[in-house]
Amino acid sequence: MNLYVDGQYLYIRCKRSMYKYDLTNMKIVAENIIFKKDGRARGFSVCDDFIFLYDFLDLYILDKKDLTVKESFRLGENLSSDVCGLIWFDFPKAYMNIRNGWIYVLNIQTGNVKKIQVNDSGSWGGFAMIDDYLFYPTVKGELLEIDRDTLEVIRKISLCKKNIYSVVYEDGLLYTTSQDKTIKATDATTLETVCVAKKAVAGMVNIIGIHKDYIIIAGNRTPFSFWDKKTLQLRENIDFPRNAIHHNDVLFGNDHQSIYKIIL
């Protein structure tokens, strides 16, 4: 994720910098150049007063007020051990998905990192955290249910034929997008598929959010689109940046030049 709304502020990572906008007047109230070079393997999540910004193998902790860097960590060890997807929090723990099939749990207070391998095929997408469990997607199309405390795999199913890019939870269902071009709704309790849309999407596709009766989806080869969350039928395509976030009744987007806003 490269956008985040917290109260009256919008946080954006754009190229080498972090920006903080006041939503009441859309003026920049803080900015900081974090990186010396451009990079694609970057994203951030927010916990309490801090921003957790990852850049491939590295993690930076920023003060949310002024975007200054407070701490930094080298998490990965090689080209296959970079951070992927959202960082989830259960203070003082920060849960991170590592591309080569590991989950890292950072103790925010002590800086200690617990590392557990949960699969051998790897994962490109972010997992979902629901209550005491993580629902973790793999490159092979498997969906793993993992105990959040022990990081032990409890259940595993072959959900898709190829890489699962996105997992989002809503009202007892896990919604996923996959490289096999499907959108699926899976019962989080039974792990049985409730509904599937075949040949629905293409390329690397993420679920931006769920608004009322619609799943919001965007990707590099899939238009920004709204899908009925019950039937998984396409309802509408719109022209909007795929680098976007859904917050309450508003979509915010960024194309590295401008900020866009749609009230749903």
Classified as helix, coil or strand, 128 is: strand
Q: Taking the domain 1-117, which CATH number applies?
A: 2.40.128.630
Residue range 131-264 in CATH 3.90.1150.10: no
Is the full-model pTM beyond 0.85? yes
Contact 36, 42 (CB under 8 A): no
CA angle 132, 133, 137 (to 5 degrees): 165
Residue range(s) in the chain whose domain bears CATH number 2.40.128.630: 1-117
Residue range(s) in the chain whose domain bears CATH number 2.130.10.10: 131-264
Each residue's pLDDT tens digit in the chain (264 positions)? 799 999 999 999 999 999 999 999 999 999 999 999 988 889 999 998 999 999 998 999 999 999 999 999 898 888 788 998 889 999 999 999 999 999 999 999 999 999 999 999 999 888 999 999 999 999 999 999 999 999 999 999 999 999 999 999 999 999 999 999 999 999 999 999 999 999 999 999 999 999 999 999 999 889 999 999 999 999 999 999 999 999 999 999 999 899 999 999
